[in-house]
Structure 1
Amino acid sequence: MMRVLVTGAGGFVGKHLVSELKNRNYEVIAAASSSREDAAAGKLHGLDITDLAAVKAFIGRTRPDTIFHLAAQSNVMKAWHHPSAAVTVNTVGSLHLLQAIQEVCPGSRMINVGSGDEYGLAGKQGMPLSEETACQPQNPYAVSKFAAGQLVLQMAKKNNLQAIHVRAFNHFGPGQEEGFAVSDFSSQIASIEKGLLSPVIRVGDLSAQRDFTYISDIIAAYVALVETDVPNGVYNVCSSIPRMISTVLEHLVQMSDVDIRIETDVAKLRPSEVPIFVGASGLLEQVTGWKPKTVFLDGLERTLDWWRSRVGL
């Protein structure tokens, strides 16, 4: 039985990944910043990835065959306010894991989860972003993820280790907290339906087009990376379909029985530097056979239903 360590197991993606790996009968070690019990992920082992000695000791005790490194400081605004913290957690933390693998269990494979945000202004071309596209990250979070991926891959190459870097584009689904477009819209609609907010959603410029993938398809991609002998390198995980943010909101509003108005708030009007930002997932499809399967509207409805069950509790 393969033993899989998931860092950041208490987060949105981590919980879904742990659940699916357990369903597939993997031996899963779930780690988070602190030890605790989680309703979705089960027992979480405390692991401070910024502490190299602690990481080495943990890897030495658990000796995983594969490590999914999801633990991160992923809030862009927090990264702007505390860039050194973002670099310490996202870049140095990733490096610590690979160093531990090198010294303790060099046969392990590391799947380092980065972000489509690493491409940054490269998206201004309006063309699908492939793994060959030169990254131009534009915020401390994206820079820290890009640096992490480069360090992991270069050190793996030098030391003959198994490591890949995944660039996951926008994803959504049940369990995602506010701070992201689909979850923000869904939480507002659910609150309006329960009479907690007035039936108006005020927005800024929603003309940007982004690449959204439902959480179950993200998890299926990650599982495919476990179950396939994938060469070291960078792999995009995305739908490869650009969707206008305004259309996403309109779809969600149409799913409600309440009459909800969408109004433009001039104070929120900030045109996007990158009008179209869409990935290309051909390489991942080629090496694993993965393709997203969830109908986009079905994913939106499941997400909205999750917020309906949560709002007002």
Structure 2
Amino acid sequence: MRSPAPVHGAENHWRGRRVLVTGAGGFIGAHLVRRLGGCGARVHAVGRRVRESTDGETWHVADVADEGAVRKLVDSVRPEVVFHLASEVAGARDPKLVLPMLHSNLTGVVNLLTAVTGAPGTRVVLAGSLEEPRPEEGDRAPSSPYAVSKWAADGYARMFHHLWGVQVSNLRIGMVYGPGHQDTRKLVPYVALSLLRGQEPELGSGTRELDWVYVDDVVDAFLAAGQTPDAAGRAFDIGTGTGTSIRDTVELLSEIVGGRTRPRYGALTDRALDSARIADPAPAAEILGWRPTVGLEEGLRRTVEWFTREGR
């Protein structure tokens, strides 16, 4: 998959820099590693299994929930910037997910921030989520074990910054989609593949509004946060600022794919505590100089073209 052109100034900024990317084998992580490699960074990619280097990156196998493994990794790489994307991602309202989310998501963040504390100049950018309750929402309860793990991680990040000067920022990312996303538990891959195969996707009511953001735009946001000194100690919404209902998104996918297969709305029960999650992109525009550039229809077309080309 060909990488888009680097954001303005990114190639010069990242050339030769030591960068650590956790969760590098995931959807966003793979795109980020590819882009950093194209910018000339010295990329150290972290995953749970060995992978073949495709863009000149060095691979490390480590579990971020293992404190010793994280400290050893940070000490050996001595990264100038850490992009922390390693995470368990599941929106189910299942009590069995509480401990796995705590262990993988929150413990991993604390291990990483502890390991870089006292390392002068090291910047950390966390992959958060728009599912996190925001301060202006008052007492809104987190909607899932995943959401509360990300919410608590942001709290730890602010503490590490204000108490010990860790240069950390948090990107609260909207609903990411795009080429290369093969997790059929997620809406866009599931619906696109179902329609391409002539199968009826089974959905809930489809009324929930979400902020869809294209993966290349998300990578741009990570690069911007990683090179902006004023990002430290802050959290930024990464999305378009526009809500689109699940039903409208699915109908747009149906139009792009074509064919006679129709989605089955109401086949599934809507999840508890679901609400519209729309970004406020103004702080990211003001401080990071970041704005999304790919509209939903264009992004979905690129995604369907990728699935078609890959023969999924």
Give the shorter-chain TM-score range. 0.7 to 0.9
CA distance in 2, matches of 1:225, 1:98: 17
Matched, 1:75 2:90: yes
Contact 1:207 1:275 in 2 (8 A): no
Secondary structure at 1:29's aligned position in 2? Answer: strand
Secondary structure at 2:168's aligned position in 1? Answer: strand
CA distance in 2, matches of 1:83, 1:57: 28
Secondary structure at 2:197's aligned position in 1? Answer: helix
CA distance in 2, matches of 1:100, 1:269: 43
Q: 1:242 to 1:52 in 2, by over 3 A?
A: same
Aligned to 1:124: none
Matched, 1:251 2:256: no
Aligned to 1:240: 241
Matched, 1:112 2:113: no
How many residues are paired up? 294
CA distance in 1, matches of 2:258, 2:221: 34
- CA shift, 1:112, in A, is 1.4
For residue 141 of structure 1, the aligned residue among 139, 146, 150 is 146
Per the normalisation by structure 1, the TM-score is: 0.87
The amino acid of 2:292's aligned partner reads P
Identity fraction in percent: 26
Contact 2:23 2:84 in 1 (8 A): yes
The amino acid of 2:179's aligned partner reads P
Aligned to 1:186: 192
- Indicate the larger mover: 165-174 or 202-211: 202-211
Q: 1:60 to 1:188 in 2, by over 3 A?
A: same
The amino acid of 1:163's aligned partner reads V
Contact 2:169 2:232 in 1 (8 A): yes
Secondary structure at 1:28's aligned position in 2? Answer: strand
Q: 1:99 to 1:231 in 2, by over 3 A?
A: closer
Aligned to 1:285: 285
Matched, 1:305 2:305: yes
CA distance in 2, matches of 1:4, 1:131: 31
The amino acid of 1:190's aligned partner reads L
Contact 1:205 1:270 in 2 (8 A): yes
Contact 2:257 2:304 in 1 (8 A): no
1:187-246 deviations in whole A, cap 9, x for unaligned?
111212xxxx4xx34432011111100111111111111222223211111110000111
CA distance in 2, matches of 1:5, 1:164: 15
- CA shift, 1:38, in A, is 5.7
Structure 1 or 2: larger strand share?
1
CA distance in 2, matches of 1:78, 1:309: 35
RMSD (Å) for aligned C-alpha atoms: 2.2
Matched, 1:164 2:169: yes
Contact 2:129 2:173 in 1 (8 A): yes
CA distance in 1, matches of 2:53, 2:191: 26
- CA shift, 1:133, in A, is 4.1
Secondary structure at 1:307's aligned position in 2? Answer: helix
Q: 1:80 to 1:11 in 2, by over 3 A?
A: farther
- CA shift, 1:289, in A, is 1.5
CA distance in 1, matches of 2:272, 2:82: 35
For residue 178 of structure 2, the aligned residue among 155, 173, 176 is 173
Q: 1:55 to 1:276 in 2, by over 3 A?
A: closer
1:110-155 deviations in whole A, cap 9, x for unaligned?
1111111112xxxxxxxxxx66444631211111111111112202
Aligned to 1:126: none
Aligned to 1:61: 76
CA distance in 2, matches of 1:101, 1:138: 30
Q: 1:271 to 1:142 in 2, by over 3 A?
A: closer
Moved over 6 A (4+): none
- CA shift, 1:279, in A, is 1.5
Q: 1:82 to 1:40 in 2, by over 3 A?
A: farther
Contact 1:37 1:43 in 2 (8 A): no
Unaligned runs of 5+ in 1: 120-129
Per the normalisation by structure 2, the TM-score is: 0.87
CA distance in 2, matches of 1:188, 1:139: 27
CA distance in 1, matches of 2:192, 2:172: 25
Q: 1:2 to 1:271 in 2, by over 3 A?
A: closer
Aligned to 1:31: 46
Contact 1:118 1:136 in 2 (8 A): no
Contact 2:173 2:237 in 1 (8 A): yes
Secondary structure at 1:36's aligned position in 2? Answer: coil
The amino acid of 1:20's aligned partner reads R
Secondary structure at 1:183's aligned position in 2? Answer: helix
Secondary structure at 2:142's aligned position in 1? Answer: coil
